[in-house]
Structure 1
Amino acid sequence: MGAGGFQTEVESLKAEGTNFVKLGQDFQASVVRLMNGLSALGAGPPGTPPAGGGQKEPEKSFGEQFMSGLTTFDSKADMPPWGDDDIGEKFGVVYEGVRDGMYESMGHLSSKLQEIGKALNSMSKNYAEGEDFSDSLIKQHVPNPQGSDTSTKFVSRLEGPKSH
């Protein structure tokens, strides 16, 4: 611990540094889950590459495509969920801009949280080393020629101010 009114709790710095790193990692995992969820809805790129190296499903036969087209919205499979009409296209431009900016800023925030955690861990290590060094200096015996006089001097008489 430091001298005077300033004290550093090295273990608290270290613990909070570890917490910040974990917070950044958890936040990044949440961002990936969000991106994957939106991707599953057709509203953005995936947060992680698809399993299997990005291989596509085998092509459906004409009969499968025909039956699927009668019972599902497969004919709209390549379109975003908001549609491709005039209003949908305008919405998509705004949405994709905001989405992409959000992905970028959330990724940046995640990395900064982890950087803060690493910096706090480094700070705790530096404080501990500094305090150990200071403590070792304080404990060293350094001879003081002015204070090593074996004879003790006492004040034997006090004089008041002289008046003229």
Structure 2
Amino acid sequence: MPVSASGQFEVETPVLRAEGANFSTIGQEFGNALTRLSTGLSALEGSGTPPWGDDDLGEKFGVVYEGFRDGMRESMGSLADRLGGMGAALTEMGARHEANEESTEVLMKDRESDVRTDEGRSRFLGGT
């Protein structure tokens, strides 16, 4: 986040929105890659005897492999969801910050206008 000469943070809302969209796309693409990987692994594993065999060594391999495979599917699915969620949050952050800046600008202009009038000067200085 850039810092201005006065030491204040400068929020670049177009960057927040753009990077939010990028994260959303990454999350979707990651989820699609997981689907392709899962489909490919299921095709390789088949429905009968697993490719690593069903003898003693094959069964031991299968137990380890299936544990890793299932954990990978779960964690990668969670990662895809979280990346997409980060994208949505960044996009929303940019929109909310932009709305806040616009609202603050309107308020400041209203106060500036009040101070320039006699009535506004009186209210500003504590009068009624």
Given the two structures, how large is their TM-score scaled by the length of structure 2? 0.82
Partners of 1:127 and 1:147 lie apart in 2 by 28
> How many residue pairs get matched?
114
Equivalent residues in 2 for 1:105-120 (5 A)? 105-120=75-90
1:6 aligns with 2:19: no
1:91 aligns with 2:61: yes
Question: Which of 88, 95, 110 is 1:125 aligned to?
Answer: 95
Partners of 2:65 and 2:75 lie apart in 1 by 15
Partners of 1:38 and 1:7 lie apart in 2 by 47
Runs of 4+ in 1 over 2 A off after TM superposition: 143-148
Partners of 1:8 and 1:108 lie apart in 2 by 29
Question: Which of 22, 27, 31 is 2:34 aligned to?
Answer: 31
**Rg (Cα) greater in structure:** 1
Equivalent residues in 2 for 1:1-164 (5 A)? 4=6, 5-42=8-45, 78-140=48-110, 141-143=113-115, 144-145=121-122
Query: RMSD across aligned C-alpha pairs, in angstroms?
Result: 2.2
Cα deviation, residue 146, structure 1: 9.1
Deviates more, 1:132-141 or 1:3-12: 3-12
- SS of the residue aligned with 1:145? helix
Cα deviation, residue 147, structure 1: 8.6
Structure 1: segments with no counterpart, 5+ residues: 44-76, 149-164
Structure with greater helix share of residues: 2
* 1:62-113, Cα deviation, whole Å (9 max, x unpaired): xxxxxxxxxxxxxxx7100000000000000000001000000000000000
User: Which amino acid is 2:48 matched to?
Assistant: D
Partners of 1:134 and 1:104 lie apart in 2 by 44
Identity %: 46
Partners of 2:59 and 2:76 lie apart in 1 by 25
